[in-house]
Amino acid sequence: MNGGSLALYVHWPFCVSKCPYCDFNSHVRSSIDQDEWREALLADLAHEARLLPDRRLTSIFFGGGTPSLMEPATVEAIIGAATSHWSAAPDVEITLEANPNSVEAARFADLSASGVNRLSLGLQSFDDEALRFLGRAHSSREGFRALEIAQRKFRRVSFDLIYALPGDSEASWSATLGQALALGTTHLSLYQLTIEPGTRFATMAARGELEPLDADAAAALYELTDAMTSNAGMPAYEISNHARRGQESRHNLTYWRYGDYAGVGPGAHGRRGGMRTERHRKPENFLSGVSRHGHGIAEEAPLSTVEAADEMLVMGLRLREGVDAGAIAERFGFDSVVDWDRVGRLARSGHLECDASRIKLTAAGRLLLDHILGQIAAVQPRALAVAS
């Protein structure tokens, strides 16, 4: 499809150390050749641009890893190339994820000058003990200082916090969240700590060295979060993301509303014109892919209509605005993509709301997203007309 809008994701795969809860594609290396990486990312980007002509670029997102460790000149070169491959929307959103270490904060002015207009800061906690537990390389003091600099240097600043840590209570989380809401930000990402397979925390939990907060206590903290952020005018527009009206992440909305996005850099996923793409995860494999083939793609395959319809439902249900299940069925040529009897039952039990064919999770339903998806997702092929 030509002429549509497009989001661009760029993955920088390096971090100074590996956090014990992290299952992202992040790697620690003693040295990084910035020139080599700039050229590889630019080549990978040019490959996507050749396959996606005439798009209007609505957002760029530098994720990682820790993209604030990129040289600002590299960031600038990628933004320059992207906006010459595609015409950029006048209000193109350019986000970069940053950690609040002082070394990185010292780069904020240069990153802003390179074209980044939105910073997403990984504060994670205001408490030094919690930061140590999370294996973070910054202190709470550095975090506050970095936020202050970011708010001066960037038009839009979001920050992340992780809650539902072992020992968290409603009193401690409400104090932290109250403090966060007073910091003048217009977007917050609030994640519950989850123990992901293959992480150091998973090993510790298996050995009995870490006891995750129990599900009921975590659910109570989620409800508290919902109430406090709504009262402060920053309701959740997605399961874990909160914003003032108009300050939502346009880039992430593209994912959840099932728009096309190009993904470049190690491990990046993309979706273009009905194809899903995935780059080599390991940085060295990515570099050798680019030098041999001119791109870092490890896998590229067409999405079946069943997969695409299912993905669109899964993504859309994350959003407060919900998803039009009838429109998805129509788009992909199915009779239905959900089991309407079950949708009706979940609406009666207060977990879903239905308005014509649009389905939304209620606050109670948002706590049970995966379970509800398992209950309702059911692609029904269109009944064939039989000639008599």
Binding residues for ligand SF4 (CB under 6 A): 15, 18-19, 22, 24, 26, 64-66, 99
Which residue, 65 or 316, has its beta carbon nearer to ligand SF4? Answer: 65
Which residue, 111 or 228, has its beta carbon nearer to ligand SF4? Answer: 111
- As measured in angstroms, the least distance from the Cβ of 132 to ligand SF4 is 13
Which residue, 108 or 334, has its beta carbon nearer to ligand SF4? Answer: 108
- As measured in angstroms, the least distance from the Cβ of 28 to ligand SF4 is 8
Which residue, 18 or 342, has its beta carbon nearer to ligand SF4? Answer: 18
- As measured in angstroms, the least distance from the Cβ of 21 to ligand SF4 is 7
Separation between Cα atoms, residue 116 and residue 128, nearest integer Å: 29
Is 289:34 a contact under the CB 8 Å cutoff? Answer: no
For residue 167, CA distances in Å to 164, 179, 187, 207, 211 come to 8, 19, 26, 18, 9
Which residue, 24 or 144, has its beta carbon nearer to ligand SF4? Answer: 24
- As measured in angstroms, the least distance from the Cβ of 17 to ligand SF4 is 7
- As measured in angstroms, the least distance from the Cβ of 99 to ligand SF4 is 6
- As measured in angstroms, the least distance from the Cβ of 201 to ligand SF4 is 11
- Exposed e or buried b per residue across 360-378, where buried means at least 16 C-beta atoms within 10 angstroms of its C-beta: bbeeebbbeeeebbebbbb
The token duo for 342 is 């079950």
Separation between Cα atoms, residue 46 and residue 297, nearest integer Å: 13
Which residue, 41 or 376, has its beta carbon nearer to ligand SF4? Answer: 41
- As measured in angstroms, the least distance from the Cβ of 179 to ligand SF4 is 22
Which residue, 144 or 191, has its beta carbon nearer to ligand SF4? Answer: 191
The token duo for 378 is 């059911």
Q: Which amino acid is at 50?
A: R
Residues 6 or more apart in contact with residue 27 via CB below 8 angstroms: 13, 14, 15, 65, 282, 283
- Exposed e or buried b per residue across 122-134, where buried means at least 16 C-beta atoms within 10 angstroms of its C-beta: bbbbbeeebbebb
- Give the residue among 340, 352, 345 at the shortest CA–CA distance from 378: 340
Place of tokens 């294996």: 135
The token duo for 224 is 């508290």
